[in-house]
Amino acid sequence: MQEQLVQEITKLVIASLGKSEIEDTKQLIPIGISARHVHLTREHIDILFGKGYQLNKKKELMGGQYAAQECVTLVGTKLRAIENVRILGPERKASQVEVSKTDAIRLGIKAPIRESGNVKGSAPIAIVGPMGAIYLEEGCIIAMRHIHMSPEDANNFGVVDGQIVKVKIDNGRGGIFEGVKIRVDQTFTLEMHIDTDEANGLGVGKEMGILIK
């Protein structure tokens, strides 16, 4: 019964979108699923891993970023921990922890949904490395979903930096992500970034998203 209801609602939703919105299936966006991760300043790497320690690359990511071999352990204000959380390099000007809502609940913290870099007044979090520990008074966020693209991509899609769009996941267990922010930069490779909750919630695997303006 419930499944039938879901199917019927899905049909209605698709119908209500109108052909114009989803007809142009050339608006395809690759999707990258971000697991929880940490960005660190030089100073914090010194504390957590030892003075002058250099992060080791495990996997190249877009825009000159990389997943480091190194991990840390997060502890929230309710003293609950998530172990072995990946560090993303290179070093940043401010340390930042990006978790999913599920992680935030596990850690017992109220992490706000924010664009990367906007950590003012965000949740406190302890970060423990093999050689030390730090406590960020603020710095833990749930990353707001967004699409990275180059100016050329933006031109092709007819969107501008900062614009809010929708992205449809057409996989039978999918749906539509609303409130997706366009982020345009010459260094960006076309990719939508969602977290593990978002991916799991709409059954996102390796398929492309469909951009809806």
In this structure, the dihedral spanned by the alpha carbons of residues 162, 164, 168 and 169, taken in order and rounded to 10 degrees, is: 50
Of 138, 54, 143, 145, nearest in space to 94 by CA: 138
From 130-138, 165-173, 180-188, 193-201, give the range in contact with a second copy by CB under 8 A. 130-138
Q: If binding means CB under 8 A, how many residues of this protein chain bind a second copy?
A: 21
Which of 40, 68, 104, 129 lies at the binding interface for a second copy (CB under 8 A)? Answer: 129
Rounded least distance, CB 125 to a second copy, Å: 10
Residue 41, phi then psi, degrees to nearest 5:
-80, 165
Ordered alpha helix ranges (H), the chain: 2-17, 19-23, 42-49, 101-107, 151-157, 196-201
> Which one among 72, 123, 184, 192 touches a second copy, defined by CB under 8 A?
72
Does 140 bind a second copy (CB under 8 A)? Our answer is no
Among 28, 42, 59, 135, binds a second copy (CB under 8 A): 135
Q: Does 186 bind a second copy (CB under 8 A)?
A: no
Q: Is 203 in the site for a second copy (CB under 8 A)?
A: no
| Nearest CA among 131, 149, 146 for reference residue 70 | 131
